Amino acid sequence: MTEQPAEPSGGNGSDGGDAAQPPLVINAQYVKDLSFETPAAPQIFSQMQRTKPDMQVKVDVQARRLQNNIYEVTLHIRADCKVGDVDAFICELTYGGVFTINVAEEALSPVLLIECPRLLFPFARQVMASTTLDGGFMPLMLAPVDFVGLYQQQLQRQQESGAAEPTVA
């Protein structure tokens, strides 16, 4: 990652104290938790050649304040692959990022629950693909996730329960 100067070169001599801060900065990203299980190995590999597997993927986003304007956003992905009634594999990933957010309070929830996961998703997708490949299966190539839709669903659920906005822990 490269550092950008606080002011353009050849500046006007100001101390840069009035320079606007970027609205979103990624401070770190990481695998927080990863689990992969193949409970029916090795028999499941021969069964998969005869029967098409059924794949269920669930995605959830959580955000919590660490301090002032610094937040942790975690993307939770669970993939369950079954062949008939037998679990072929279960892959669970919690992929996190630490973000500095400089936006108005009313824009905070959408930034944390839409924009931050959008930035984390390609990396989490790669971890899931590599993990399933290393587990002896075809790489799981997750389809793009509609984080706006997830946010709207969360808004609707919370409005039905009486809360106004998706909460940030």
pLDDT at res. 64? 97
Q: What's the CATH code, domain 24-158?
A: 3.10.420.10
Band of pLDDT at residue 23, cut at 50, 70 and 90: very high
Mean pLDDT, range 56-63, rounded to an integer: 96
Q: 4 pLDDT exceeds 50?
A: no
Average pLDDT of the residues in 58-84 = 96
Over its C-alpha atoms, the chain yields an Rg (Å, rounded) of: 21
Top-confidence range, 1-15, 127-141, 145-159: 127-141
Q: Which residues of 46-85 are buried (b: 16+ CB within 10 A; e: fewer)?
A: eebeeeebeeeeebebbbeeeeeeebbbbbbbbbbbbbee
What amino acid is encoded at 138 in this protein?
M
Note the pLDDT of residue 21. 85
pTM given for the model: 0.82
Residue 24 has what pLDDT?
95
Q: Is the pLDDT of residue 2 over 50?
A: no
The string of DSSP letters for 27-55 reads: EEEEEEEEEEE-TTTTHHHHHHHHS--EE
CA–CA distance, 127 with 36 (Å, rounded to integer)? 11
pLDDT at 5 over 60: no
CA 91/CA 113 separation, integer angstroms: 23
The strand order across the sheet containing 86-101 reads 24-37, 86-101, 70-83, 54-67
Q: Which of 17-21, 60-64, 161-165 has the highest mean pLDDT?
A: 60-64
Q: How many helices (H) and strands (E) does the chain have?
A: 4, 4
Please report, for the chain, the start and end positions of each structural domain, with discontinuous segments joined by +.
24-158
| Average pLDDT score over residue span 80-104 | 96
On whether the CB atoms of residues 131 and 79 are closer than 8 A, the answer is: no
Of residues 155 and 33, the one with the higher pLDDT is 33
